[in-house]
Amino acid sequence: MRKLILSAVLGIVVVSGVARAESETRRVTVSGKCTRQVTPDRGAIVVTADFRDDDLKQASKRATEAYERAREAVKRLGLKDVDLRTIEYSMSEVREWEKDRQVFKGYRARMGLRVATSQVDKLGEVIAIATREGLKEVGGLQSFLSESQQLQEQVACLQEAAQNARIKAEKLAAALGARVGETLLVTESGGFQSPPERMMVMDAASGVGASRPPSIEAGQQTLSLAVEVAFALK
């Protein structure tokens, strides 16, 4: 029994000694950053059929027919990596205030189509189709990174941030008469990709794009992230 107690006591002493030694390890903690400009590889736009009529069925019919004509025309463009989604379908009664009372003004039907593709420069042709087919609302034009490109850019940026952290640690250690040893801890302290850029909202009835498709540029977005790294000092 006395041996067991003695072993237990010695074990505690050893463990506490190790903990004390680890806590006294000389280290330097620095942050590494990476910021880069990235060209988006995806673009999207929303075109909406919006019709009013005194008859609910007629309003719905006109909106549906215009929507379908536009959707089929977009399909014929053969856009790469295209994703077509119906994002709105609504019918409502329209009333407006006249002389302190609401007056019935007919019915309104709306159908919205979101077109996303890797051919951002071709979205101008979608705008031209919307104008031609009588879709009176064009909006939500944006450029953004696909998930695969975003992951690729983040990995590359992480490597750059880690290298930046080591360079800073080596400079700091040298100024203190020490050398950088092994890596003790790495933490990604923050990552940020600028949100999809809204580029245009317009009324197709204004005639924009009627003569020829407008030119669409994807532009660039900012990707930035940081890491915190702790190095042992020799």
Which SS3 state, helix, strand or coil, does residue 230 take? strand
Give the model confidence (pLDDT) of 34-57 as tens digits.
998 899 999 999 999 999 999 999
Give the model confidence (pLDDT) of 155-169 as tens digits.
999 999 999 999 999
Sign of CA dihedral 211, 212, 213, 216: negative
- Find the mean pLDDT for residues 173-177: 91
CATH top-level class of 42-144+197-209: alpha beta
Predicted local confidence at residue 180, as pLDDT: 94
Q: Who contacts 45 (Cβ-Cβ below 8 Å, separation ≥6)?
A: 114, 115, 123, 126, 127, 138, 139, 140, 141, 142
DSSP structure string for 130-146: HHHTT--EEEEEEEE--
Phi, psi of 46 (to 5 degrees): -120, 125
**Residue boundaries of the structural domains of the chain:** 42-144+197-209
Which SS3 state, helix, strand or coil, does residue 99 take? coil
Sign of CA dihedral 176, 178, 184, 186: positive
Whether the predicted pLDDT of 63 surpasses 80: yes
